[in-house]
């Protein structure tokens, strides 16, 4: 506070008289504005925002497949019968801050995150067919009062791009990669491939238009809502392989690349 306010006796008497009469019906009370009382969950909402940062590769992204908030019992369904999530492999990340722990049930089983652990709990599950994905959050007693959480699933457009690959990723080759496009992206650097020929399989999914460029060659990997495969390229040193999304595809389209030697 620190500030001393001196009020004259006359002003004080007038103020007391006005208070005794009270404000007219419907009139807005005058004087210093009051500060709204803080929500009892405001602190846990702040923790939930921090938990979101832990489970997202790009915290600023507005993702539909992220769930967060004060730890309460709830079930959230991602997708719908009209717009189901695609079949494929999904990663789930769970972060919890505060006290206690939360258990997240998903198609692959249960994942438990201890509140306060800065490393998210992680699991992987496979969807055998297109369907909505139900996720249930169950906090323990300590988290119910003092915890907040965040849950993220793999972006479904990324799953769709991965599932479209003809060449399965080797799991050992660091050049096998995928991701959501947020601007011009170098998919494979020519120097990383070394000498000789390799097969490169590229798939895109999502919305907008994505161009693939290597050397002086351009090809369309994605146009509209259709997933278009570039097929198998016999790589003979055409330069870096680059994906260029247009404005609509930026943040809404994904790519997957698999590399194998013949």
As a whole number of angstroms, the distance between CA 256 and CA 179 comes to 7
Is this structure's pTM higher than 0.95?
Answer: no
- Residues 95, 150 contacting (CB under 8 angstroms): yes
Structure tokens at 166: 């003809």
- In this prediction, residue 8 carries a pLDDT of 40
**Apex 30 CA angle, 26 and 35, nearest 5:** 100
- Residues 184, 225 contacting (CB under 8 angstroms): no
Burial of 93 (0-12, 13-18, 19+ CB in 10 A): buried
Reported as a single tens digit per residue, the pLDDT across 186-226 is 998 888 776 677 778 888 999 899 998 887 778 888 886 55
Please name every residue paired with 255 in a beta bridge, in sequence order, or none if there are none.
Answer: 179, 204
- In this prediction, residue 233 carries a pLDDT of 61
Mean pLDDT (whole number) for 11-35: 36
Burial of 221 (0-12, 13-18, 19+ CB in 10 A): buried
- Residues 107, 125 contacting (CB under 8 angstroms): yes
**Closest-CA residue to 95 (of 160, 150, 138):** 150
Lowest mean pLDDT among 162-166, 171-175, 254-258: 171-175
- Residues 109, 123 contacting (CB under 8 angstroms): yes
Secondary structure of residue 19 in the 3-state scheme: helix
Whole-angstrom CA distances from 186 to 115, 197, 255, 260 are 37, 19, 11, 18
């Amino acid at each position: 506070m620190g500030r001393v306010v001196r009020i004259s006796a006359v002003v004080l008497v007038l103020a007391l008289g006005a208070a005794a009469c009270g404000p007219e019906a419907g009139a807005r009370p005058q004087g210093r504005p009051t500060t709204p009382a803080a929500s009892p969950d405001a602190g846990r909402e702040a923790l939930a925002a921090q938990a979101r940062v832990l489970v997202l590769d790009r915290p600023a992204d507005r993702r539909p497949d992220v769930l967060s908030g004060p730890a309460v019992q709830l079930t959230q369904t991602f997708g719908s019968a009209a717009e189901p999530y695609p079949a494929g492999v999904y990663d789930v990340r769970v972060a919890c801050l505060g006290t206690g722990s939360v258990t997240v049930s998903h198609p692959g089983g249960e994942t438990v995150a201890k509140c306060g652990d800065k490393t998210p709990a992680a699991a992987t599950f496979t969807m055998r067919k297109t369907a909505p994905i139900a996720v249930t959050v169950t906090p323990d007693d300590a988290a119910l009062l003092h915890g907040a959480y965040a849950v993220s699933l793999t972006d479904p457009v990324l799953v769709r791009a991965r599932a479209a690959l003809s060449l399965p990723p080797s799991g050992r080759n660091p050049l096998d990669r995928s991701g959501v496009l947020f601007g011009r992206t170098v998919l494979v650097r020519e120097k990383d491939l070394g000498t000789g020929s390799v097969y490169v399989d590229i798939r895109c999914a999502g919305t907008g238009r994505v161009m693939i460029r290597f050397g002086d060659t351009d090809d369309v990997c994605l146009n509209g809502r259709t997933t278009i495969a570039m097929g198998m390229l016999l790589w003979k040193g055409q330069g870096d392989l680059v994906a260029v999304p247009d404005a609509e595809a930026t943040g809404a389209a994904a790519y997957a690349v698999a590399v194998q030697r013949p």
